[in-house]
Structure 1
Amino acid sequence: MARKLNVVAVSGGLQRPSKTLVLTQAILNALGNALPIEAQLIELGEIGPRLAGAVHRSQLPEDIEAQVRRIESADLLIVASPVFRGSYTGLFKHLFDFVHHEALIDVPVLLAATGGSNRHALVIDHQLRPLFSFFQSRTLPIGVYASEVDFNGYEIGSDALRERIELAVLRALPIARAERSADAAASLATLAA
């Protein structure tokens, strides 16, 4: 039996409750409903205060270093950030500054963002996609953007957002299944050797 896909989700929301966290969990749940996954969730709001003071990776506390290693070992990443002044937050970028520049080569990344209005929707293509292009990751074709009108408090209240999540996951499945198939083939080759 093939192992579960190692999916690491990074929620860049800095506060609790967080609409970005709600969106991240909804995407993670939808992917988990479609495919056997091993899910790990990293909440930037939880680690941010201890992350912010580090300049070099060697200065990271051990538990945060472990989170960075989780990101680097993911089969698939889900990354979500609130929009702040037209981009992802500085602390979100700071976390990814510690990720080794070759660790995410060819790793599929599903991009998501939240913002106050739809005028920020292009943050996925203009900010997040270039960041993960630097890492030579395979950003998935459909990202998920959610604005204030998509939520009722801190719950998803929009059928249109639910449909965007489902479509993004549907489009991610062939790539995610290919990752699992390649892993299964590698495991069989190791056993046969």
Structure 2
Amino acid sequence: MRTSRIVGFCGNSWRPAKSRMLVEAVAADLQAQHGLKTTVLDLVDAGCGIAGFTRTALDDNARAVVEAIEQADGLVIGCPVFQGSYPGLFKHIFDLIEPSVLRNRPVLLTAVGGGLRHSLVVEHQLRPLFGFFEACTVSTAIYASSGEIVPGEPLAPMTAARLANAVEQFASLLSGRQEAAA
């Protein structure tokens, strides 16, 4: 059986970013609990070439990010929340992806926003986005307020508990998908 390709994709355009830190925490748990290695990418990796309006207008860096998402066996999505929504360039990446490519792919959703009033972005924007692609989002999403993510500090207990639960769900979906393919 081949190794699963797990890609973490964050919609942040700078580093360090708290949304990336949350995806990296998920990646560390996937590695520790299930031996699953995750490649974490973000808009910084895509660079300015992501501004192309079509796939053919993308430069090599941007194309590599889009193709990594398309070729992943499972996705861990990290999204900073601005003004109650995901960033436009984050959405632009998914506008460039053929809708059927992500069908039945396990997707774990995470988001980081300025406060609790942004917490519903996961349910009202991210989940429907991946529903359009007919991806299999895990039932537990992880939202954290920016004050809850402190570099070098452990996650808040409630966030850590949601993360552990979401990782178990993701690993189970991924395993079921691989068994079905075999």
Matches within 5 A, 1:27-66: 27-52=26-51, 54-66=52-64
Partner SS state of residue 145, structure 1? strand
Write the letter of the residue equivalent to 1:32.
Answer: Q
CA pair 153-31 structure 1, distance change in 2 beyond 3 A: closer
How far does residue 172 in structure 1 lie from its aligned partner after superposition? 1.9
Aligned equivalents of 1:50, 1:154: Cα separation in 2: 32
Gaps of 5+ in 2: none
Partner of 1:190: none
Aligned equivalents of 1:92, 1:154: Cα separation in 2: 26
Partner SS state of residue 162, structure 2? helix
Partner of 2:103: 105
Partner of 2:89: 91
**Aligned 8 A contact 2:50 2:58 in 1:** yes
Write the letter of the residue equivalent to 1:49.
Answer: C
**Aligned 8 A contact 1:118 1:147 in 2:** yes
Write the letter of the residue equivalent to 2:18.
Answer: K
2:118 is equivalent to residue 120 of structure 1? yes
Superposition TM-score, scaled by structure 2 size: 0.92
**Aligned 8 A contact 1:4 1:180 in 2:** no
Partner SS state of residue 41, structure 2? strand
Partner of 1:163: 161
Aligned equivalents of 1:4, 1:34: Cα separation in 2: 15
Q: How many matched pairs?
A: 182
Aligned equivalents of 2:68, 2:86: Cα separation in 1: 21
Partner of 2:138: 140
**Aligned 8 A contact 1:12 1:81 in 2:** yes
CA pair 73-100 structure 1, distance change in 2 beyond 3 A: same
Gaps of 5+ in 1: 186-193
Matches within 5 A, 1:173-188: 173-183=171-181, 185=182
Tell me which of the two structures has the higher relative contact order, counting C-alpha pairs closer than 8 angstroms and 6 or more residues apart.
1
Write the letter of the residue equivalent to 1:96.
Answer: F
Write the letter of the residue equivalent to 2:118.
Answer: H
Any runs of at least 4 consecutive aligned residues in structure 1 with deviations exceeding 3 A, and if so which?
Answer: 153-157
How far does residue 135 in structure 1 lie from its aligned partner after superposition? 0.8
Partner of 2:24: 25
**Aligned 8 A contact 2:70 2:97 in 1:** yes
Aligned equivalents of 2:177, 2:93: Cα separation in 1: 25
Larger Rg belongs to: 1
How far does residue 157 in structure 1 lie from its aligned partner after superposition? 4.1
**Aligned 8 A contact 2:81 2:112 in 1:** yes
How far does residue 170 in structure 1 lie from its aligned partner after superposition? 1.6
